[in-house]
């Protein structure tokens, strides 16, 4: 590219050095990787940021940095170095915090990458110019920015729901939401100009997050989106043996929705896992 963001290049170099160090030094990697128990139990909050400078491979690093450099120059020129850096790290932390919340009961969950920060930069750019175009790596055509943003949000939501791959969809969604909030904080007038794209991106994101907070079972059972369940009294173990697997599942989900996942006993958690496997 003819011009590059000086701040973007600085971030690329620092991230590249940290990534390389992580590849060569396992102790260094283990000290800074995002790991739920290390953060929540040992209070190592630095990992919310430090994990954003590590990557799982050079392809992972390359995609993230290429995306960052594609959008960083315009943001840096418009708002200056410090506001751009503020947006970058705000999005990184927001992505890590959402990931921490989603995986708070998965003590061994680990992640690395600057995806939350990159999502924030990309979504800030979308709010700035929703009618612009975004090129996707490997595709011979570009798509409108607002379409890319909406598809990205939906993919992230369904990715969090399914939890069937190694992509940090939660960090992506948290960073994206922070990017929208951050650019509006820097230039509030953008909401008046591009209110429709803000609502288009924010409403489904907030609706999903509110659903997850109110009903954690949504993340635990395939095909369940918080719909009403048949309510029945909690029965004693002798009576429960007569219940069908579907009725048992309904009761467990109802309890989670009413009192939270922490209300489940160890036995109930085990039974919920068994039912998920039985029902596919």
Backbone angles phi, psi at 135, to 5 degrees: -95, 135
Between CA 38 and CA 44 the distance in angstroms is: 6
pLDDT at 240: 42
Q: Which helix (H) or strand (E) holds 143?
A: strand 142-144
Closest CA to 159 of 193, 115, 93, 108: 115
Name the CATH topology of 6-214.
Rhomboid-like fold (1.20.1540)
58-113 pLDDT tens trace: 999 999 999 999 899 999 999 999 999 999 999 999 999 999 999 988 888 999 99
How many Cβ atoms sit within 10 Å of the Cβ of residue 47? 23
Q: What is the mean pLDDT of the chain?
A: 86
pTM of the predicted structure, to 2 decimals: 0.81
Least confident of 11-20, 194-203, 266-275: 266-275
Share of the chain above pLDDT 70, in %: 89
> Domain limits of the chain?
6-214, 219-279
């Amino acid at each position: 590219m003819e011009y590059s963001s000086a701040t973007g290049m600085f971030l690329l170099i620092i991230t590249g050095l940290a990534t390389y160090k992580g590849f060569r030094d396992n102790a260094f990697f283990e000290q800074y990787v995002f790991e739920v128990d290390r953060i929540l139990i040992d209070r190592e909050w630095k990992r919310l940021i430090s994990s954003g400078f590590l990557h799982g491979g050079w392809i992972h690093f390359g995609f993230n940095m290429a995306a960052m450099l594609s959008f960083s120059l315009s943001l840096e020129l418009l708002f200056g170095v410090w506001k751009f850096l503020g947006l970058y790290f705000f999005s990184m932390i927001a992505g890590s915090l959402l990931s921490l919340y989603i995986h708070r009961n998965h003590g061994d969950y680990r992640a690395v990458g600057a995806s939350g920060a990159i999502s924030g930069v990309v979504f800030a750019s979308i709010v700035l110019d929703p009618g612009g175009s975004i090129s996707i790596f490997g595709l011979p055509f570009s798509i409108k920015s607002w379409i890319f943003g909406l598809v990205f949000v939906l993919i992230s939501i369904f990715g969090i729901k399914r939890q069937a791959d190694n992509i940090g969809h939660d960090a992506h969604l948290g960073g994206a939401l922070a990017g929208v909030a951050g650019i509006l904080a820097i230039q509030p007038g953008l909401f008046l100009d591009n209110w429709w794209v803000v609502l288009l991106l924010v409403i489904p994101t907030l609706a999903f997050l509110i659903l997850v907070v109110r009903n954690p079972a949504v993340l635990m059972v395939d095909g369940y989106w918080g719909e009403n369940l048949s309510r029945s009294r909690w029965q004693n173990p002798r009576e429960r043996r007569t219940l069908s697997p579907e009725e048992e599942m309904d009761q467990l989900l109802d309890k989670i929705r009413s009192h939270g996942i922490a209300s489940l006993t160890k036995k109930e958690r085990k039974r919920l896992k068994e039912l998920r496997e039985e029902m596919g």
